[in-house]
Amino acid sequence: MYFTIRGRVDSFEDSSYERTINEGTPEATTETVARYQLMLDIPGVAEMVRCDLSPDRIPDLPAVKVFDKWELEESWVVVTADNFRQTKGTKGNRTWAMASFSAVKVEEMSAAERQSILDARRQTKTARKQKAAAARAAKQPQKKTDAA
């Protein structure tokens, strides 16, 4: 099962870390495990969507400077993920939860895809406004008959 997430790049962070292999032995070595986080802004969704990127899982992962360019230009991307992880916790009296998608593919959205998303969003907004106007119009006659 795959998740396809389309959104605008909000931020890109390098979350790489160092790991010690064979700790406590003469062959102990330290290696850097490359990990990246991509935060996406999806119109109509209040929270950012977090995607974890690992070069081990994405063989054709774009270079870091490509992600930096996407972040600066707030480019639209398509992320394909095969699973997600949810983390929950509490801070004081507040409970929080965060979902993180494990990406297997990341690519910039084509101009045609971007335009179709914007058109669909525009149609949805127009339909929502028309429905609200119809509801207001339906309430208008009720107020006049109540006043009489």
The residue among 85 and 143 whose pLDDT is bigger is: 85
Give 20-64 pLDDT, tens digit per residue: 888 888 888 999 988 999 999 988 788 889 999 999 999 888 999
DSSP 83: E
Give the confidence band of 83 by pLDDT, cuts at 50, 70, 90.
very high
Residue 10 pLDDT exceeds 90: yes
Reading the block at residue 79, the tokens are: 């992320």
Which residue matches tokens 């990341």?
106
Give 104-148 pLDDT, tens digit per residue: 999 999 989 888 888 888 999 999 999 999 988 888 876 555 555
pLDDT of residue 81: 95
CA dist 75 and 7 (Å) reads 8
Which of 31, 4, 28, 32 shows the shortest CA–CA distance to 117?
4
Q: How far apart are the first and last CA of the chain?
A: 61
Q: Cβ atoms within 10 A of the Cβ of 82, count?
A: 13
Can you name the residues that pair with 52 across neighbouring β-strands?
Answer: 37, 102
